Chains A and B, each alone.
Chain A
Amino acid sequence: MRAPFVTNRKHDRRFVLGLVGLLCLVAAGALAVVLAGAAGGGPATLRAGGARHAVNLTVAAARAGTTAVDLTVTGADGRPSTPDEIELEVLMPQMGHVLSTVRPSATSPGAYRAEAVSLPMGGQYEFTVRLSGPDGDDRVVFPLLVSG
């Protein structure tokens, strides 16, 4: 019987070296993906609750550029809420820049959309939704990392 792992033939050595090399390449690729971290830039849906409302915020493209932002607002009873006023403010907290303040338009009861919100650069953003209605005012802040 032939002993295993005996690699005295040239093509066996090449085979093993090639195999190890290939697997190392695969592993190096996996390592690169891990170190590079999440690419980001896709749609981001975030949820948060204020004192009187719960808000869902969807940023269609969380990367530098122009994106649509959708909001859905529900009351304490979980049903769609229609506050008298709703305002979306986009801010970069590290620089203290208020980049835009928009009034999203209603698309259906409790649903609002801001069509073209400018995100001029990558970094940490805060999307602040301010609501005011018969129940009182609310302020909900959504932190979001935006890719460059």
Chain B
Amino acid sequence: MTKLILSTGNIVSGGPSIIRKPGGYRSNLELTNSLRSNFLAAQQDFAADAHADDDSAVALNGNGNTNGNGLHHSGRTPASVWTAQEEGALYVPRIDWSLAGLQEEPAQYDITVKLFFLPTAAVAGRAQHAKEALGLVLRELGVKEVNLLVMSFPGMSFEGDCEWEADRLNAKQGDDEEEAATWPAIEDLHRQGLVRNLGIAEFGSEKLARFLKKVQVRPTVNQINIKNCCNVPPPLVKLAKEQGIELLVHSDCTDILSRGTLRELLGPGIRGAGLLADPETGGDGLKGDLAPQWVVKYTAVVRDRGVIENKGYFACAELTEE
């Protein structure tokens, strides 16, 4: 089994991938577009590096036995060039950790991290996943703690004809038991001082009331999705107010990375990164079943200036060879 760690890098200056399209709210396009563009950029960057190395090789032995552009004969940059095997995981693309960190003192930032547990991952792995995901974010931002960690559980949404109905539908979604069972691991991160506040996403009034009864460290934030109508159902407003939980807006979908999307991103197709083997041609590449495990989104905002300095995603997938 191989673990893959995908990353977008800092996407705030990422151009089109961060731009909203009309009707495009609540989507995973930002994630998929920025992964795709980071893969492409890394392939170009490292191909250029490889090219530079080739040139020096030519100068040394003069045999000129290279393809001259750092590209594999398939026309793609070889995976070994732009990805890296490190500490038991394949980093796609490879990450130069020496560039990690924020520009100013950590105290200047509001850092929000949102962890998406995915339906394609085993519930038993969540404690490990949370630790791993948060660890990557802390490393990437060069900080020791974050202000807010929001948990997004699979199979939940806050949709329907206006928020009234959303609240009603929401009550039956997700899996109360699994969510409650996951929470102690998240509370641990808080107790270890890695996370100042905890949050959840897409909890309607009924689910939230049930959830609060089962937890020790209570969430201070509940992210909900609002459409054009700004009517938050009164029961949820009331409950949140009583419990001191802030209702924040988000526009992510919970099932943010599906198996199919991931295969397309990494696959041999024209919009893929060419990391997976092409079953048609039987060419090189990774083979096997690819299951998304989790996605984490992080945002570092300079607190008293409202400037987003760093935003990005990591995603983890497991490849089980057949």
Bound together:
no
| Residues of chain B at the chain A interface (Cβ within 8 Å) | none
List chain A positions with a Cβ less than 8 A from chain B: none
